[in-house]
Amino acid sequence: MHRITVLDEGYVRLVDVMGSDLTVVNAARVSYSKESKELTERDVRLIKFLAREGHSSPFRHALAQFEIYAPLMVARQWHKYIIGSSHQEAVGDSMNAWNESSRRYITEEPAFYIPNPDEWRSAPANSKQGSGDPINRDDAYAFSLQLEDYIKQGEGLYAHAIEYGICAEQARLFLPAYGMYVRWYWTASLQSVCHFLAQRLEHDAQVEIQLYAKAVLTLIESKFPVSIGELIPVKEA
């Protein structure tokens, strides 16, 4: 399995992987001029030690590359890990690359995330962010219809601007932004991927990005089973 569908039209695709748990082990042992040819119990103990003691650099020698198609509201939350990776002492220089499609250059048919009626959530009672319980289904159905109408109006204005000859980089101003799907490549070290997962798999993360994080985890956990098991400990339900 290399691709998982998320939300209505989104997905996460595992494009490429460089390395394995053995890569982490050999990166750690190079200072002693040692190298393992296959993963042993001794190597597993080393990975556990590295994760437990916060020795993060060996985990930056393994890389994963993903293609992601997600609403802009998810993409912008995700992108904070790229901007902040070189400024957070705990994460260090975690090796991230991000290349995103741009409507300055393309005019493909836009796609938008429209929550199903049972997906609209209320504001939380005791927090300034996040979400609470589902709202009344009849009201939710009305909000879905209103969002559909809003998107159709924006698409119509966008198409008219393109047909008139307005440049694509300005015509896109007519498109509703936050629910519009964008596509990007994300290449990151194993350390950086696990940092993202550890935070966005939390129960209080935005639901939509949680779903994408679960897809990333499903695609990558078999590639680095020991390292991911230590860097992202399973939480009790």
Residues with catalytic annotation? 200
**Between helices 72-84 and 207-220, what is the axis angle to 10°?**
60
Inter-CA distances, 185 with 75, 146, 161, Å: 11, 32, 29
- Token pair listed for 63: 């890389």
Q: How far apart are CA 20 and CA 28, in angstroms?
A: 13
Q: How far apart are CA 166 and CA 32, in angstroms?
A: 62
Q: Which helix (H) or strand (E) holds 183?
A: strand 181-189
Q: How far apart are CA 35 and CA 44, in angstroms?
A: 14
Strands 96-100 and 63-71: unpaired
